[in-house]
Structure 1
């Protein structure tokens, strides 16, 4: 894919201290990874000890409006937010208000659990470490995407989560939505107020926000998608206050995220001052439940309180990544080596960029002889993969054209308002020759997926999802089936 030339003209690098001997080497790899063209913008910060040795703000926060990435850019950090929520729980454990190994039912006595689910046998730690045995379900759909229900409805929505027989670690958002309920139950504060007071403010993260209201949207790094000609097009940033949730709902700057990495990597210390008790930080980084998984170049051995615990090249590593609709967030650090990385992108192939930058920082700052050759090979592989994206887009558009067959009924027969107690209200309207779906805070067009079964496709949740209209022999649709639920016409 041909990168936008304007991106390369907007590169900027700032350093917060005297020249570091590896600064030029790091800058070369950061620029080379970014030049693969998989993201409109890139923000990077690298920490050694308690000092920032490299910081870069590259490219565009919004390609369509030519808004550059700067120190003031707000990045949507998606599931990196779990590190904030999880650490909040670690503080409550220290306060004696929460016992991580106590049943979740002790803290949420009014929750409506699914039939057959043993809430008394599931602990707070199970929810923090993704071993609770429940699927995501309608609660997560509302919390992360549609905002159809207020958070006060979350205890009721739990009943629609399907229990799994397998209680092994299965990553999802649900555990951290439940964690937010625990925070509110034991503190009497909203989880947002609690995190502001106990987590963000002590670290000095004054430009980190679990909201979109009152934010200058030009500061937000918008997600981007690739077009068939290889260019990047800005996508709307669809998050609202209702969908900025405890599992993935935070805007932050590179500077604030760097402070977060520094205080975590240095056992609660920042600029020589004690911010958090050392044992709270250690407890947050302790494996609650094990796993054995390779993610990119990194080994994951288990989950702590909001963090992945694992290793990079057999060195202990703590991390928390996140991704949402064309964005990717990466924070990681090697506690014993004293090296930490923040990397944020807003493009379709940006995920690998963040991982390459982090791995190279770990390698070069420890003097590994293969640091450059390994990074160059990874960048070459990424460039080849990114170059294939326009063809993939073209192939997908061809598939869509093949699917676009006449529907058995006029569009007006599909239009209407549909409701389900788990999913809420979905409104479908006609706009010319197109059906539009409105679900909570989201709206978008529907395209034909399978005309023979009245199945339509939408992208309200980022990727494609299918909604099948049910007619039951009637002239107008009587229901919509999606996400294993049936919404009936109102």
Structure 2
């Protein structure tokens, strides 16, 4: 298992004078970024007393051109501990990797995107309403396969699972099926597409990612395995309480829940290589003349506005959208309050990466990315656009702060809780829930996640559990016969004696 070192190996690439002028970012744009972006973002950071780590990079066809980092320690890398080698979770941007991996295998003759999914997944997909003889692998990747499973999604992304058989059962017994051909975003398709690739090649998705994508592109600080990183190296989610204090930090992921739809860790430096490859339509992964067509052109349509991006299509890997009449390909990611932005404008030859991990500011990376784009391609409009776009971000921050939990609402362990401690079983296949005492508080665990109970002030006798990446309503009741029932949302659990 490789371990990554985090010395300042790419300091030279951060120099503003390293590159000659190239498509996308010239010296004047670099000066505007350096003069306007830090002060603008730091003012917002201070105004709302944000707590997280903000990392941003601007890339063009020659590579990483500009980087910026900020946290409560300031914007100097020597003080804030952040650099282009700092690892962070990219969450659903992993879908862009998985879609590209499928195209690499297809270009090499190892995999067929047009094949019906029964070709590779006959043993995994047995639900009678899923037309596995006509739904294609491409439809798994572009979210038009028409089926998903809530339990499968929760077990792969959040709660964990014990065996592949458990996932297969979840997929085929807790299945939502709709007509295929319509764009419906979910994790299910890319995860199953990765499973199809595993069956086609006899290699794990994680091994294929490293062999076919990360290593050829020189992305040596990118992995889908947490153990590849030194303990504590990956930036955590930062939960802020009702009074603005940090309540809890954590990653809330295991190797088992790093999956093909949301399970990779990377750095600014490595993501710059990835976006440079996409801007250049490089030949590092395949020499096929039409390799990028299904990756950069829509394979299906969608109509949705996300923040400032008017989405019109989806390829095998990217959302195709418009931002102020500029075509922009985006693939974002979010998990447990961590938010990641990666995008590129092919016509302008510019790409931006941004990450933030204070859960109140999950829209901040998109605002910061837009500011960077505008300083490069529309400098006369950069500040006016920012002034308009920041309004929505500030509303979002205020809303998240209003929903923040108060540490005083944590449930204190008392003798009355003793009879409620123990394991609760759900008969429909969901992981058991356990109530325990920890540091004189009541904690709930479900699968690989755990967190404290908070009293729900809006409803007597009900609680909220914060599992880091999930927040769930909890109720306890005792029957006349003394049987204890726990309701996890609409899911019923009985105490196991």
Alignment of 1:204-353 (within 5 A): 204-232=218-246, 235-269=249-283, 277-353=288-364
Counterpart of 2:202 (choices 188, 207, 216) is 188
Match of 1:50 among 62, 75, 91: 62
**Relative to structure 1, is the Cα distance of residues 349 and 183 closer, same or farther in structure 2, using a 3 angstrom cutoff?**
same
Distance change >3 Å, CA 55–CA 368, structure 1 → 2: closer
Distance in 1 (CA, whole Å) between partners of 2:287 and 2:361 is 33
Q: Partner residue of 1:17?
A: 19
Deviation at 1:189, TM superposition (A): 0.4
Q: How does 1:61-460 map to 2 (within 5 A)?
A: 68-151=81-164, 153-165=166-178, 167=180, 168-232=182-246, 235-269=249-283, 277-367=288-378, 369-379=380-390, 382-383=393-394, 386=397, 390-393=401-404, 397=406, 411-413=418-420, 415-420=422-427, 422-431=429-438, 434-449=441-456, 455-460=462-467
Shift of 1:318: 1.3
**What stretches of structure 2 of length at least 5 have no aligned partner?**
1-13, 21-25
8 Å CA contact 1:268–1:277 kept in 2: the answer is: no
Instruction: Report SS of the residue matched to 2:312.
Output: strand
Secondary structure at 1:416's aligned position in 2?
A: strand
- The answer to whether structure 1 residue 32 and structure 2 residue 45 are counterparts is no
Secondary structure of the structure 1 residue equivalent to 2:112: coil
Q: Would you say the 8 A contact 2:114–2:136 is kept in 1? A: yes
Bigger mean CA offset, 288-297 vs 452-461 = 452-461
Q: Is contact 2:183–2:300 with CA below 8 Å preserved after alignment?
A: yes
TM-fit CA distance, 1:389: 5.3
Secondary structure, counterpart of 2:290 in structure 1 = helix
Question: TM-score when scaled to structure 2?
Answer: 0.83
Partners of 2:152 and 2:188 within 8 A in 1? yes
Q: 1:404 to 1:419 in 2, by over 3 A?
A: closer
Query: Unmatched 5+ residue regions in structure 1?
Result: 1-12
Does the C-alpha gap of structure 1 residues 443 and 424 become closer, same or farther in structure 2, counting only changes over 3 Å?
Answer: same
C-alpha change, 1:448 and 1:385, in structure 2 (3 Å) is closer
Cα distance 1:90–1:345, how it changes in 2: closer, same or farther (>3 A)? same
Deviation, structure 1 residue 252: 0.8
How many angstroms apart in 1 are the aligned matches of 2:457 and 2:151? 25
**Contact 1:78–1:249 (8 Å) recurs in 2:** yes
Note closer, same or farther for the CA distance 1:274–1:386 as it changes in structure 2 (3 Å cut): closer
Aligned residues: 469
Q: CA RMSD in A?
A: 3.4
